Amino acid sequence: MNLRTALPAALERNRNFFLSLLNASTTLSHLAQAHAQIIVGGYRNDISTVTKLTHKLCDLRAIGYARDLFLSVSKPDLFLFNVVIKGYSTNGSPRSSMSLFAHLRKNTGLRPDNFTYFFAVSASAGFRDEKVGTVLHSQAIVDGFGFDLFIGSALVDLYLKFSKLELAKKLFDEMPERDTVLWNTMISGLVKNCCFEDSVLVFKDMVADAEIRLDSTSLAAVLPAAGELHQLRVGMGIQSLATKLGLHSHVHILTGLISFYSKCGDTGTATLLFDQIDRPDLVSYNAMISGYTCNNETDSSLRLFKELLALGERANSSTIVGLIPVFFPFGHLGLTLCIHCFCVKSGMVSNPAISTALTTVYSRLNEIELARQVFDESIEKSLASWNAMISGYTQNGLTDAAIHLFQNMQTSKVQPNPVTVTSILSACAQLGALSLGKWVHNLVKREGFHSNIYMLQSGVSPSGVTFLSALYACSHAGLVTEGDRIFHSMVHDHGVEPLAEHYACMVDIFGRAGKLEKALEFIERMPVEPGPAIWGALLGACMIHKDTRLAHLASKRLFELDPENVGYYVLLSNIYSVDKNYPQAASIRQVVRRRSLAKTPGCTLIEVGGLPHVFTSGDRSHPQTKAIYAKLENLMGKMTEAGFQAETVTALHDVEDEEKELMVKVHSEKLAIAFGLISTEPGSEIRIIKNLRVCIDCHTATKFISKITGRDIVVRDANRFHHFKDGICSCGDYW
């Protein structure tokens, strides 16, 4: 648009003219032209015109320009201050916002008003904790804005952003009046803190309040909670409410319902709703893609993803996260590796949401090393990614690693939230053995997570937590008698009913100290049925003290109570192996296999002609299987001639050497390399990705292959890159 020609020359250039000129400006260049006209027209000192211009500049992210303009005004009024305070904050400079706010209070005769406080509080959400916000809160109360709805909502939002649930709830309860936005803020904030049940409760309170109008935001905010809780009735109730309010075709609500039905396993209804959206946007596509993914409908998921790309829409990180099969009960390693590969290539892997999703899915696949690798390589570690890695360790039974990482998190100055604490407490319950009990307790106390109706599902009451931390301390210090005494005192003197965590902790105290019989006696005397946490604690102790008999007993119970948890089987099998009882160890692994709980086998990915090919060990499913095995046979002959000997040390203990040789010969990386050799140009580089650490036999074999074929072979394994060239590997045989 050429503003000069757009102007009828006769039009009078008054203030309204310049204001509408500014309103019509949509680019920085428009604003610069308008600014020039304002100067020429003699309106450079007109405060309302300058305020409007400053506002528009901030909106277009020209904060430097806006600041210069602000500084050129000799006596800025409160309006202009407010605009610039907001401008700094929306341009990512909360510090400048606060400096200007302080300057306004100290050095001008102006008094901050409700707008000023609202902008300042919003800006303070940009800091790393809620401290500045709380100071503003008290100042606002002093200045008489304690009950302002805008400021109140911004504060509730801020407290919830930093998981200060107690503070948010207190403020919310104390507000003399609550409007729709305040209610909505509370609900969505609880959802963000994974307090799903509470958010539904608050929503129900809101519905019950006849004075309060529900809007699309209210319904859209609570829908994720209904989905997470799999509460079909709640979700359908929201749906009929939406119809009653005439909001049923609102895109946010339809999208929310798609997520909801998908989470409840009903992709049929979700699909119908998706088809009702006139022009689905990226968020709607993402919801549907993720819905298909989490219901294991990979084909539909990929089909919709392609449809999205065909529309010319750019997939964002949420799209990819939705494609990553985080929800599959037994995962989908091949697909995950493909997506991982795609993310590395497109640079999206550095996105915190994506690395978090990859960390989570690898953890669930028991690929904890791959999970850790992704975590370590992510440059910007969000709270969610710390949580994912910690709970990954917890779920894989690696309690010590979970605690260790939790400590690292503390040194990295990342504030834990209730999700973190829940993970850590569940680690406590798992094997009982945490030295951090006291510390966790202090944290819970300091952060106000406890005695809070919103929050933690662990069911540990504050006084229960206090005892728990004391018991942890005993467990750590090996104070058996002391622990026994504390437990007794807790029950008899303080009337605290012990929870599974307390019992598990006691078993751990006895078990760690080698008093396994005493631990068993304790379990047998428990007034409640011992759960997995208790037997898990005993099993862990048996592992330390190599007590096969008790281990067997504990595992038997665990298999009954928690048959899906592969970790116990592995532990037991290891105990037998240590005892050199290979037939028993093998039979345990047999059970695992029979129940298809086996660890996902090693697999290798190679990309040829833009298509990923995934091989598992002994794989014969590839269309070119015959050629691949023939190539491998041919290679083995040449390798043996060149002095290659199969390495078998790392293979299973209980098979004959010849059989072992047969087994390693068809490891997935060898198949992938053989395929690479027959399907790519001679002399070109071969790149493969292996989900596990490459085994010594494959490593040696690859060195030979690189020499014999004259190919460079790059292997990315769970630990590192290996660059094979002319019979030598870049890792120096150390990995």
CB 85 within 8 A of CB 55: no
Taking residues 247 to 266 in sequence order and writing x for each that binds DNA by CB under 7 A, - otherwise, the string is ---xxx-xxx--x-------
Binding-site member from 13, 28, 37, 47 for DNA (CB under 7 A): 47
Does residue number 113 form part of the binding site for DNA (CB under 7 A)? yes
Please answer whether residues 662 and 595 qualify as being in contact, where contact means their C-beta atoms are separated by less than 8 angstroms: no
Q: How far is the CB of 192 from DNA (least distance, A)?
A: 7
Task: Indicate the residue among 47 and 655 with the shorter CB distance to DNA.
Answer: 47
Q: What 3-state class would DSSP assign to 716?
A: strand
Contact region for DNA (CB under 7 A) — 4-12, 153-161, 343-351, 468-476? 153-161
Asked if 232 is part of the footprint of DNA (rule: CB under 7 A), the reply reads: no
Binding status of residue 423 toward DNA by CB under 7 A = no
Q: Does 215 bind DNA (CB under 7 A)?
A: yes
Minimal distance, residue 32 CB to DNA, in Å = 19
**585 contacts DNA (rule: CB under 7 A):** no
Exposure of 52 by Cβ count < 10 A (0-12 exposed, 13-18 middle, 19+ buried)?
A: buried
Q: Are 313 and 282 in contact (CB under 8 A)?
A: yes
* Of the candidate residues 122, 359, 417, 475, the single one contacting DNA (CB under 7 A): 122
Assess 198 for contact with DNA (CB under 7 A).
no
Residue (226 or 480) nearer to DNA, CB: 226
Q: Which is nearer to DNA, 18 or 472 (CB)?
A: 18
Tell me the closest approach of the beta carbon of residue 659 to DNA, in angstroms: 53
Distance of closest approach, residue 454 Cβ to DNA, in angstroms? 16
Is residue 221 within the footprint of DNA (CB under 7 A)? yes
As a whole number of angstroms, the distance between CA 221 and CA 238 comes to 11
Is 80 among the residues that bind DNA (CB under 7 A)? yes
Shortest spacing between CB 60 and DNA, in angstroms: 13
- Given its phi and psi angles, is residue 710 left (phi above 0), alpha (psi -120 to 50 degrees) or beta? left
At position 608, the amino acid (one-letter code) is V
Query: Least distance (Å) from DNA to the CB of residue 145?
Result: 8
* Distance separating alpha carbons of residues 444 and 554, to the nearest angstrom: 32
> Cα–Cα–Cα angle for 374, 380, 385, nearest 5°?
55
Half-sphere exposure of 227 (CA within 13 A, CB side): 25
Q: Determine, following the binding rule CB under 7 A, whether residue 604 of this chain makes contact with DNA.
A: no
CB of 82 to DNA, least distance (A): 4
Measured in degrees and rounded to the nearest 5, phi and psi for residue 597 equal: -100, 5
* Rounded least distance, CB 117 to DNA, Å: 7
Q: Is the dihedral of CA 718, 719, 723, 724 positive or negative?
A: negative
With beta carbons less than 8 A apart as the criterion, state whether 37 and 21 touch: yes
Q: What letter would DSSP give residue 662? A: H
Considering the rule CB under 7 A, would residue 223 count as an interface residue with DNA? yes
Q: Which residues contact 644 (CB under 8 A, 6 or more apart)?
A: 636, 700, 701, 704
Q: What is the DSSP letter of 652?
A: -
**DSSP assignment string, 364-388:** HTT-HHHHHHHHHH-SS--HHHHHH
Please identify which residue in 62, 104, 194, 220 interacts with DNA, judged by CB under 7 A: 220
Contact status: 193 vs DNA (CB under 7 A):
no
Are the C-beta atoms of residues 563 and 595 closer than 8 Å to each other? yes
**Size of interface with DNA, in residues (CB under 7 A):** 57
Query: Which residues form the interface with DNA (CB under 7 A)?
Result: 15, 19, 46-48, 51-52, 55, 77-80, 82-83, 86, 113-116, 118, 122, 148-151, 153-154, 157, 179-182, 184-185, 188, 191-192, 215-218, 220-221, 223-224, 250-252, 254-256, 259, 280-281, 283-284, 287
